[in-house]
Structure 1
Amino acid sequence: MEIDQKESDSQEQIGPKFSINVLQLLKSAQLQHGLRHRDYTRYRRYCSARLRRLYKSLKFTHGRGKYARRAISESTITDVRFLHVVLYMAERAWSHAMEKRSLPDGPNSRQRIYLLGRLRKAVKWATLFAQLCAIKGDRRTSLEAEAFMAEERSQQAVTMTEFNWLGHRFPINNAKTRVSILKARELEKDLHGSVADTLTPDRRLSLFEKIFTAYQDARSCIRNDLNTTDLSDLVSSGRESNPEEVAFSDECILKGLTFRAERCFYLAKSYSLAGKRAEAYALYCHSRSLADSAIQKLQTTKNHGKALINDLKALIDDCRTNSCIEHAAGIMEEEKAPEELSQGVSSIALAKKGKKIEGFLLERLNVYESALGDPNSKEIPHIERFPPPFQAVPCNPIVLDIVFNSIEFPSLENRMKKDKKEIGCQKILKKKEFRCRDLNPGRLGESQIS
């Protein structure tokens, strides 16, 4: 009864899974309320009216006098209509943005800013809808909500036609690049927003990883579009570059050398702990050469960082010390290897040396006594020897088969098949034998007797 009660309590805590056919719901709503004729204003008004009806039916109002928005969270959703509220909020924001976009003369600068803000709102509500459906919805609803979120992000990415980098504007023609840059910017807002002080170190680290991943995806797309190997090629591509770009490129090169030197040093540390002396020695030497080249380039720049140079000098000293240690340890291990091998070979024996343990379980089956011993003691249970000791095994006896040559086997001629010619010859011989017997029977008898 207690188990059944626990299972029922866990089911009540999990709650039911809601189901929404997102694609069919949105398609029917859009076709019936204006989007068949691209009337975004009518569809936006329908979404607003639909939201008012949902708020009223759910008794989820925001106050009569002073407006105070009530947030929708995981604990709030006790009815599937709460998910409908989030869905239609995203649709209303999207239709409002499309209404500004479809103006006859096109949106001006102020309207364009408002359009981008509404698209950001649409992506925000779509993301919340996908997160809530992943928790409160079934599997099909969750997958359709993720598809809806991806569609909203792609719609937002369409409006992004260029990006700024080092004071220059570059056009964006690839949709995947737009989506990746927008995703990185949204994560940066979470990182530097109002809740940045409340983020834990692990959460901040995960945000940085997601931002780097998004920018790496955008970078790969830009590489494919430009036939370039690196973003630094934009500086050395033959066009006019300002001093800020040149300084940025030099700084990237120097920091790249520093990072490679430190990474090589710690990789050598890992090889040293694994006992691979030759690999560790080579990596320490390579790290030292990288740090030397980085210091030489830092000293040629005007605004070189003294702290970075001091760190690199300390790294060079550590590399020199550790390389000497690895070299000495490698020589000592090489000298000791033959001696250890000879000692190991000489100590090999069939019987195990040391204290002989008596009284294993198989040897004491006739004694009523536990082989595990006292449960409070730390003594190893004497059940069976493992691994089992080596034992001398006798070889199979050598048998020489010398009787085979003296065996006389029976004749098998009566079982062999004979040819027709041979059978005919035998019949003729028998007839001649009978004739001779009839002509001279006494002589034939004598010949048979002899």
Structure 2
Amino acid sequence: MDIDDDGEHVDRPPTFALNVLQLVRLAQAQHGMRHSDYTRYRHYCSKRLRTLYKKLKMLHGRQKYQKKRVEAANVTCERHLHVSLVCAERAWAHGMELKKDIENGPGKASSSSSRKRPHPGKGGVSSVKRRHMLARFKKASAFATEFSGLCAQRGGTKTALEAEGYSAMMAGLWKMEVPDWQEALNKLLRAKKLFEELAKVGEFDQQALFHQVLEELEPSVRFCIYNLERAQGGAAVQLQEVDLEHLESKLASLVVEAKSQAQQEQTASSLEWCKIKYPVRSEMLRNSLQHALDAEGQLRAAGDPLALYDKVVSAYGELKRLVQQALNAGGGTTTLGLGSDLSDLATAVNGTLLQHSIQKSLLLLQKEQKNFEDGMLQALQASKRSKDKASRSKPGDVVRLHDTLIGHITELIELGMKIGGAQGEVLMEQYAAKAAHYQASRCYFVAHTHLAGKRLKEAHALFDRCTKRAEDAIARYKECSEQDPDAVDALTALSKKAAAFRCCARAEYAEELLLVEQRTRQGMESLSLGDQDGTPTAGSEEVRYLSDNMDSWESFVGPGRSVRIFRIPPALYSMPVKPIFLDTALNHIERPSLDQRLPKKTTFSRMLGWAGW
């Protein structure tokens, strides 16, 4: 240690931060205490102590046994502080195990605690176990006091206060078993006061843990008061004020540290959504929120935002997972207002995630719509030599993007219904108009899909429905509190385009009916039993029969020709498969044609196909 000219120490020993209650409760939950298995927890503490002694090189070897104590000057890492804490937990678990055996009676005593049975004299086995139990509780209190002293010298401010509260709680539990009700009440009230003060400045998960411990201490405090009143003949017990004068400075410094840390993390201390700020108390959640905000800042500064939207959506998705995990872990604190804050934060994170997903889907949709319109323009101009035919969007691709976008908007509307109030009404009103908007746009592109497949009646009906839905969406936008003139202009243009293509579909359908009528007239005029439609020549592709061509105008009988009624022997055809599963009807289902979705082959591609490429 360096010393200056005045003889004062320059370097101070390092301090260690230790979350005492969190460490203890985690070990208890993982090693039997969920089922009150004190034996298993005591064995775990013994194994943990052996591991600590080995890591800290506190083994005794074969020399004469000499107990090695952990001194404050020798503490170099957190493991040194763990030694006293684990010793206290082991002694407490042993005492609780003996207490459980006493309550169950001599016939139900566990084998681990009744291997050596003394001769039953006055008091019997129960008195021996009770003395043993009190000795273990006293030992647990002594180890907890030692742990508190080490933390006061080598721990941080919060660690020292938490260790002192743990020590007071252990002493109070010991005094309750003696019993010394007044001393037990004083110790428990001191622990309660310390945990109440610590719960005001801790993280969210630590606050939940402190409040859980306070709930567990409350019955013990009431039991002490009851026994004191009973001993005093029913007189009310005057609760003494807890003496925390020497701890006021530590509590004040802890509050200052918490405020300075909050100022450093001010950028990620809250999430703003729908003009409301939601506090983020947990350090883990603040780090995740800061990561999401950084990604959002990069998105605003980027020239091509589409490339960074995946990063933003992924960051908010991770934040949503952590918030839900914290909400599930702290479900027992909803009565204290902490769970409700976290539930509101989960709603805000989910809403922010959906909004970013909607913006990403909108960018993709605008890009696909532009490619589709450019492809239509090139098709109208008959630019067959265009090199970017493969990049043209099909109407089916645009419809799928509309489905994704409408799904996100529907989830956000359901979130607004869940929120309720003025905020939920504004959210539902705004995104209900957007849902009507993009449903009209989807109807427009579904109509184009039918138009490309030559299903003209369906296309005409869908273009007509698109104009009606566009008018309904415009009316919804005008009813909103926040007007969106750009969306109204886009819907007006969409309605005009749908009306124009509706006329095109009607004209094409009329032309198709005219062609059918013309072919029917020509067929009727050419119908004859003469030789002009005789037997097919040798150069024809196939021999046609009446049974297979009932709707043809060809003559299959006549003088000087062979009669072609049906084929003898019949032609071979594939048999229906899977008779066991009774799905032979699938062989008779006519599926829609997908030719309009396939790229058209050029002369060059046909030549490559003939060459075997």
Q: Do the structures match in fold with TM over 0.5?
A: no
Q: Larger RCO: Structure 1 or Structure 2 (Cα < 8 Å, ≥ 6 residues apart)?
A: 1
